């Protein structure tokens, strides 16, 4: 493995790749720091830019954006009590109180150090486990992949929102949309309605940009006053001391472990990891009473938890071709556009590229630390940009990006429809991640399922007679049982108290 | 005294989702003979048929929608700690519905304007109009941004990345 890493780094590394990663990092931090622009939105909007770049430029750029955006979300969370990305929601609880107390610099620095340490540890886990996992995954056949895809979609549907049923509805509709185009086995057209643009299916990137970016713009426009950001407090600019950092190292490492574990599971991304890490840190802290009132430990836990997921979500994506969260769903599309099909064969066919990327991931952690330390003083200017002028500019970028996919206005129409559909889904509580990930996984799932049944002598029993798929099926059924039980338990916890339909007291 | 939770809105949203899911599933099911290579519903028994997977999924979405409708109606009126609309959710009531309609109209008109007057002109108008709708009142800065951003995107896409942007039929 070390020799592969060395070969990958030397063959893939170049000044251009490093520069590309650095530019992506800066773009990600700046955009991630802007409230209203999520990490998914950032990556989705900028992905079309990379279609016309070489792999050595495109992928480091996108990975830099991803890392930067997750960290960047902590900046407004600390300075103005508004998370720049959903993954920084837990950071507001202690980051903003610290800022009000005049310790914004300390909060920003502990966030930076926690993020870098967590990301570095997560990257090392990624490097250590992906190749061995890929070696196991290469033994998977169609039945195993079919069950794996169904398992991933079911888990994503179950944990993405408050309703398991809504998640499943979103996932199945997404998979149905994924059926539009040509049947993979026979080549027959399906649901094209005679429209030539539909013969190739629905392009993923415009859907992603629409559902995440345009829907967010519509959500933001609901507010009576847009961009009313409270003033940024300057505060006393004391640095974080070495003793303070040392005192939080245990929390950082424990939260990192939580983030890596959750990030590697499909459907659970940084948005969930930050809360779990924060809750765990509060529970195990010697000073739990400080949480919520300005605890450096709280900021460290939230930021370590969410940044550790960044490399971890790449594990299922690279090994199985299953995106760990919505951002990796976009990254998966970008990888495919570069001719790299994530899955077990990726390590056999493109090991130099993959290990080169691992090297880039390690390097961007160092760049993040250096850039963050220098730029901390400037962050308050970034968060002050009013959303009412920012969001129209983002709209233009969205439309340009969607058009750039294949220079076709049809993709822009898909973007528009995706935006309205995403908005409707958010207003009715239907989670978007199951829909888009199902759209992405529908073709390989269909292939795996149909091939399994076609070549099976036992019909549907093939999923039980093969040991690995039987084991995964058992895990799937247990997982479904837990999700259903959780729903029922939550209803019972509500106490069954009756309220009037209008919710009157 | 307890928290006010919009259970009626929650029930309506769930039933709307359920109804949409069922209609969608039924529509796909009915469209199979017309849109999938002359196949019919017997294709569910034939794995090789292009209609196999769509029929399976349409049945699944109908079943999941029915489950959602059933569980919603069964628990309607009860305080549901997990599903009720909470403050901060996207499902919160809309504070400024006219603003949303205005922004939505901007997006639709922008799409049509792209092919009519081209990306640069359409984007300048969009930024000016949309920022006004969203409450930005510094017209000098809005004008500057409206001029700079589309031109920057034009130079980035067409001159740097060699990606053509929509040209208008009029100019």
Which residue's entry shows tokens 């076609």? Answer: A454
**For tokens 């040991």, what's the residue?**
A467
Residues B68-120: tens digit of each pLDDT: 999 888 877 664 444 444 433 677 788 888 999 999 999 999 999 998 999 99
pLDDT exceeds cutoff 80 at A277: yes
| Chain A neighbors of B61, CB-CB under 8 A | 169, 172-173, 176
Q: What is the pLDDT of residues A471-484, one digit of tens each?
A: 888 888 888 888 78
Best B70, B74, B131, B139 member to test A by mutation, with max A CBs in 10 Å, is B131
The tally of CA atoms less than 13 A away on the side-chain side of residue A291 is 21
Of A41, A59, A42, nearest in space to A50 by CA? A59
Q: How big is the A-B interface in CB pairs under 8 Å?
A: 245
The mean of the pLDDT values for chain A is 83
Nearest-by-Cβ selection for A193 from B7, B35, B37: B35
B51-60 pLDDT, tens digit per residue, is 999 999 999 9
How high is the pLDDT of residue A413? 95
Question: How far is the C-alpha of A69 from the C-alpha of A33, rounded, in Å?
Answer: 7
pLDDT score at B165: 82
What value, to the nearest 5°, has the Cα angle with vertex A306 and ends A313 and A208? 55
- Of B12, B56, B90, which to mutate for an interface test with A (greatest number of A Cβ within 10 Å)? B90
> B36 φ, ψ to 5°?
-125, 75
Has residue A236 got a pLDDT over 70?
Answer: no
Which residue from A minimizes the CA distance to B92? A427
Q: Is the distance from CB of A142 to CB of A451 less than 8 angstroms?
A: yes
- For chain A, what is the radius of gyration of the CA atoms? 23
**What is residue A181's DSSP assignment?**
E
Q: What is the pLDDT of residue A383?
A: 63
Q: Residue A2: pLDDT band by 50, 70, 90 thresholds?
A: low
CA distances (Å), origin B153, targets A235, A394, A403: 37, 11, 12
CB contact under 8 A, B135 and A227: yes
Q: What is the mean pLDDT of chain B?
A: 83
Predicted confidence at residue A496, as pLDDT, reads 44
Q: Specify the DSSP element, H or E, that contains A249.
A: helix A249-264
Cβ–Cβ under 8 Å, residues A391 and A217: yes
Distance separating alpha carbons of residues A116 and A261, to the nearest angstrom:
17
Count of helix runs (H) and strand runs (E) in chain A: 25, 2
Minimal Cα–Cα distance from A58 to chain B, Å?
12
Residue of B40, B103, B144, B168 to mutate when probing chain A, most A C-beta within 10 A: B103
Calculate how close chain A gets to B171, using CA atoms only, in Å.
Answer: 17
Q: Which of A326, A307, A354 is nearest to A209 (CA)?
A: A326
pLDDT at A291: 87
Chain segment A406-452, per-residue pLDDT in tens: 888 999 999 999 999 999 999 998 988 889 889 988 988 999 999 99
Tokens of A388: 């009412």
Please give the C-alpha separations between residue A387 and each of A27, A188, A379, in angstroms, as whole numbers.
17, 46, 16
Measured distance CA(A97)–CA(A94) in Å, rounded: 5
pTM: 0.81
Please report, for residues A185, A197, B58, the alpha-carbon distance to residue A201 in angstroms, rounded to integers and kept in the order given. Answer: 15, 8, 18
Q: Which tokens go with A475? A: 């895990």
Q: Tell me the C-alpha distance between B45 and A442, whole Å.
A: 20
Query: CB within 8 A of A96, min separation 6: which ones?
Result: A77, A78, A79, A80, A81
Q: Residue A491's closest chain B neighbor by CA?
A: B80
**Which pLDDT score, from 0 to 100, does residue A226 have?**
60
How many CB atoms neighbour CB A89 within 10 A? Answer: 20
User: Across the interface, do B54 and A173 touch by the CB < 8 Å criterion?
Assistant: no
pLDDT tens for residues A99-153?
Answer: 888 888 899 999 999 999 999 999 999 999 888 888 888 788 888 889 888 988 8
Q: How much is the ipTM here?
A: 0.90
How many CA atoms, within 13 angstroms, populate the side-chain half-sphere of residue A88? 37
Inform me whether the pLDDT recorded for B163 exceeds 80: no
Q: Which residues of B touch A46 (CB under 8 A)?
A: none
Q: Do A176 and B54 touch (CB under 8 A)?
A: yes
C-alpha to C-alpha distance for A163 and A147, rounded to whole angstroms: 22
Mark A287-303 as b/e (b = at least 16 C-beta within 10 Å). eeebbeebbbbbbbbbb
Give the three-class secondary structure for B167: coil
Distance of CA A467 to the CA centre of its chain: 31
Find, in chain A, the residue whose alpha carbon is nearest to that of B148.
A393
Q: Which helix (H) or strand (E) holds A14?
A: none
In this structure, the number of other CB atoms found within 10 A of the CB of residue A187 comes to 9
Give the tokens for residue B130: 């949309």
For residue A248, pLDDT beyond 80: yes
Window from A111-125, A228-242, A491-505 with minimum mean pLDDT? A491-505
């Amino acid at each position: 493995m070390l020799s592969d890493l060395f070969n990958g780094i030397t063959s893939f590394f170049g000044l251009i790749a490093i520069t590309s990663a650095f530019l992506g990092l800066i773009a990600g931090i700046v955009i991630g720091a802007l409230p209203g622009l999520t990490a998914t939105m950032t990556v989705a909007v900028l992905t079309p830019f990379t279609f016309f770049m070489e792999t050595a430029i495109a992928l480091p750029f996108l990975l830099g954006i991803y890392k930067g955006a997750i960290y960047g979300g902590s900046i407004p969370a600390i300075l103005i009590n508004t998370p720049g990305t959903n993954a920084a929601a837990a950071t507001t609880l202690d980051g903003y109180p610290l800022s009000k107390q005049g310790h914004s610099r300390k909060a920003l620095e502990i966030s930076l150090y926690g993020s870098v340490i967590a990301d570095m540890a997560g990257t090392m886990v990624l490097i250590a486990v992906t190749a061995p996992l890929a070696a196991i995954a290469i033994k998977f056949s169609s039945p195993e992949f079919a069950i794996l895809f169904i398992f991933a979609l079911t888990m994503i549907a179950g944990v993405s929102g408050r309703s398991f049923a809504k998640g499943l509805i979103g996932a199945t509709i997404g998979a149905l949309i994924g059926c539009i185009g040509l049947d993979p086995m026979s080549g027959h057209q399906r649901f094209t309605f005679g429209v030539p643009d539909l013969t190739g299916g629905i392009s993923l990137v415009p859907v992603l940009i629409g559902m995440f970016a345009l829907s967010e713009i519509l959500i933001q426009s609901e507010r009576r006053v847009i961009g009313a950001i409270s003033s940024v407090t300057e505060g006393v600019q004391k640095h974080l001391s070495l003793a303070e950092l040392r005192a939080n190292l245990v929390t950082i490492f424990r939260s990192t472990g939580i983030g890596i574990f959750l990030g590697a599971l499909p459907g659970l991304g940084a948005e969930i990891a930050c809360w779990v890490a924060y809750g765990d840190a509060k529970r195990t802290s010697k000073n739990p009473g400080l949480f919520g009132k300005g605890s450096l430990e709280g900021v460290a836990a939230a930021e370590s938890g969410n940044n550790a997921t960044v490399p971890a979500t790449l594990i299922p994506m690279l090994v199985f071709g299953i995106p760990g969260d919505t951002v990796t769903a976009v990254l998966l599309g970008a990888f495919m556009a570069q001719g790299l099909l994530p899955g077990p064969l990726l390590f056999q066919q493109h090991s130099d590229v993959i290990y080169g990327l691992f090297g880039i991931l390690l390097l961007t952690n160092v760049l993040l630390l250096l850039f963050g330390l220098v730029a901390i003083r400037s962050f308050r200017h970034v968060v002050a940009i009013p959303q009412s002028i920012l969001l129209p500019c983002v709209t233009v970028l969205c439309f340009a990006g969607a058009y750039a996919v294949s220079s076709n206005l049809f993709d822009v129409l898909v973007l528009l429809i995706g935006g309205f559909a995403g908005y409707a889904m958010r207003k009715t509580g239907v989670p978007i991640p199951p829909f888009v990930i199902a759209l992405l996984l529908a073709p390989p799932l269909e292939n795996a399922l149909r091939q399994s049944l076609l070549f099976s002598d036992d019909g549907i029993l093939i999923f039980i007679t093969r040991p690995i798929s039987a084991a995964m099926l058992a895990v799937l059924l247990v997982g479904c049982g837990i999700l259903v039980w959780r729903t029922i338990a939550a209803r019972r916890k509500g106490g069954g108290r009756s309220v009037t339909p209008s919710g009157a007291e | 005294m307890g928290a006010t939770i919009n259970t009626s809105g929650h029930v309506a949203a769930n039933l709307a989702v359920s109804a949409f899911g069922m209609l969608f599933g039924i529509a796909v099911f009915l469209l199979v003979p017309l849109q999938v290579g002359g196949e019919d519903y017997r294709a569910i028994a034939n794995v090789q048929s292009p209609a196999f997977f769509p029929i399976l999924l349409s049945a699944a979405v109908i079943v999941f929608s029915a489950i959602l409708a059933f569980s919603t109606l069964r628990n309607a009126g009860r305080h549901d700690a997990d599903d009720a609309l909470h403050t901060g959710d996207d499902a919160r009531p809309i504070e400024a519905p006219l603003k949303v309609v205005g922004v939505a109209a901007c997006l639709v008109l922008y799409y049509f304007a792209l092919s009519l007057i081209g990306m640069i002109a359409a984007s300048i108008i969009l930024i000016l109009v949309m920022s006004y709708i969203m409450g930005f009142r510094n017209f000098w800065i809005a004008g500057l941004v409206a001029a700079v951003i589309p031109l920057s995107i034009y130079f980035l896409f067409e001159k740097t990345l060699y990606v053509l942007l929509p040209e208008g039929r009029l100019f």
